[in-house]
Structure 1
Amino acid sequence: MRAFVLTAPGAFEVQELPAPVAVAGEVVVDVERVGVCGTDMEFFTGAMAYLHQGHSTYPMRPGHEWAGRVAAVGEGVDRGWLGRRVMGDTMLGCGRCRRCVRGHQHVCEKRQEVGIRGARAGALAERLAVPASSLHALPDSVDAALGALVEPGGNALRAARAAAARTGDRALVLGPGTIGLLVAMFLRAAGAEVHLLDRAGNSPAFAHAMGFEHVWDERSLPDLPFDAVVDASNAAHLPQKALESVEPSGRVVYIGLAGEPSRIDTRTLALKDVTAVGILSASPGLDDTIRAYASGTVDPGALVAATVSLDEVGAVLAGERPEGAGPGPKIHVDPRLGI
Structure 2
Amino acid sequence: MRALVLTGPGEAEVQEVPAPVAAAGQVIVDVERAGVCGTDVELFTGEMSYLHSGVSSYPLRPGHEWSGTVTATGPGVDESWLGKRVTGDTMIACGHCRRCRAGRHHVCDKMRELGIRDGLPGALAEQLAFPTTYLYELPPTVDATVGALVEPGGNAQRSVTAAALDPGERLLILGTGTIGLLAAMIARSRGLEVHLLGHHLDVARHLGFDRAWTRDTLPGLAWDGVIDATNSPDMPGLAVQLVEPGRRVVWIGLSGTPSTVDSREVVLKDVTTVGILGASAGLADTVRAYASGSVDPRPLVAATVGLEQAADVLAGARPAGAGPGPKILIDPRR
Indicate the TM-score class for this superposition, using the shorter chain for normalisation. Answer: over 0.9
Q: CA deviation at 1:273?
A: 1.1
The answer to whether the 8 Å contact 2:60/2:118 transfers is no
1:1-150 superposed matches below 5 A: 1-150=1-150
Q: CA deviation at 1:101?
A: 1.5
Which runs of at least 4 in structure 1 moved beyond 6 Å after TM superposition? none
The total of aligned residue pairs comes to 334
CA distance in 1, matches of 2:140, 2:285: 16
Q: Deviations over 1:254-312 (max 9, x none)?
A: 00000011121111111111111110111111111000000011111100000011110
The one-letter amino acid paired with 1:328 is G
The answer to whether the 8 Å contact 2:93/2:108 transfers is yes
Q: CA deviation at 1:222?
A: 1.1
Q: CA deviation at 1:195?
A: 0.7
Describe the SS at the equivalent of 1:47.
Answer: coil
- Corresponding residue to 1:288 among 274, 279, 285: 285
Map of 2:267 onto structure 1: 270
CA distance in 2, matches of 1:152, 1:168: 25
Q: Deviations over 1:211-236 (max 9, x none)?
A: 10111111111111000000000000
Q: CA deviation at 1:107?
A: 0.7
Q: CA deviation at 1:12?
A: 1.1
Map of 1:217 onto structure 2: 214
Q: Deviations over 1:239-261 (max 9, x none)?
A: 00000000111110000000011
The one-letter amino acid paired with 2:151 is E
Is 1:192 equivalent to 2:189 in the alignment? no
Describe the SS at the equivalent of 1:33.
Answer: strand
- Corresponding residue to 2:235 among 221, 235, 238: 238
- Corresponding residue to 1:318 among 312, 315, 318: 315
CA distance in 1, matches of 2:147, 2:138: 7
Map of 2:151 onto structure 1: 151
CA distance in 2, matches of 1:205, 1:74: 47
Q: CA deviation at 1:163?
A: 0.7
1:251-262 superposed matches below 5 A: 251-262=248-259
CA distance in 2, matches of 1:89, 1:105: 11
Describe the SS at the equivalent of 1:160.
Answer: helix
Describe the SS at the equivalent of 1:308.
Answer: strand
CA distance in 1, matches of 2:145, 2:249: 30
CA distance in 2, matches of 1:118, 1:313: 20
Describe the SS at the equivalent of 1:15.
Answer: strand
Q: CA deviation at 1:33?
A: 0.3
The answer to whether the 8 Å contact 2:92/2:113 transfers is yes
The answer to whether the 8 Å contact 1:60/1:119 transfers is no
Supply the RMSD in Å over aligned alpha carbons.
Answer: 0.8
Describe the SS at the equivalent of 2:68.
Answer: strand
Is 1:207 equivalent to 2:204 in the alignment? yes
Q: Which runs of 5+ in 1 are unaligned?
A: none
The answer to whether the 8 Å contact 1:165/1:190 transfers is no
The two structures have a TM-score, normalised by structure 1, of 0.97
The one-letter amino acid paired with 2:251 is Y
CA distance in 1, matches of 2:22, 2:262: 50
